[in-house]
Amino acid sequence: MKIAVPVSGQQIAEHFGQCREFYIYSADTETKEIMEELQRSAPPHEPGILPSWLADHGVDTVIASGMGKRAQQLFSAYGITVVTGAVSSEPRQAVDEYLKDHLKTGSNQCTH
């Protein structure tokens, strides 16, 4: 499984669409452990590009604080699960909690 998290200043970015960096984690779903962490710079901002870019990286799931409905629809079209409202501020911690079914989420922080 591959899980992507938008990051800003080593924290989960509040606004997915403006994120310039992603951490992509490879995880073992049986042991529920993170196997690898990669940092990737996002491509130049262009509407709709991030879902295809992350799909090209083999991402299955995105954990975000906030994400607009259109982006969520595009991820769905690629078969990528989206989790919004992530409360954990550190990306690795959020992924670890997600794998262990303990990720706390609040409301989607995006209003568009």
User: Quick check: is 68 in a domain?
Assistant: yes
User: Quick check: is 112 in a domain?
Assistant: no
- The count of structural domains within the chain is 1
Fill in the amino acid letter for 52: S
Per-residue pLDDT at 88: 65
Give the domain extent around 18.
2-99
Residue 77 has pLDDT above 90, yes or no: yes
Residue 111 has pLDDT above 60, yes or no: no
CATH number of domain containing 30: 3.30.420.130
Neighbouring residues of 65: CB distance < 8 A, sequence distance ≥ 6: 6, 12, 13, 14, 15, 16, 84, 85, 86, 109
Residue 26 has pLDDT above 90, yes or no: yes
pTM for the structure as a whole:
0.92
Q: How confident is the model over 8-22, as pLDDT tens digits?
A: 888 998 878 778 899
User: Quick check: is 25 in a domain?
Assistant: yes
Residue 66 · residue 89 · CB < 8 Å:
no
Give the angle subtended at the CA of 45 by the CAs of 39 and 47, to the nearest 5°. Answer: 120
Helix (H/G/I), strand (E/B), else coil: 79: coil
How much is the CA Rg of the chain, to the nearest whole Å?
A: 13
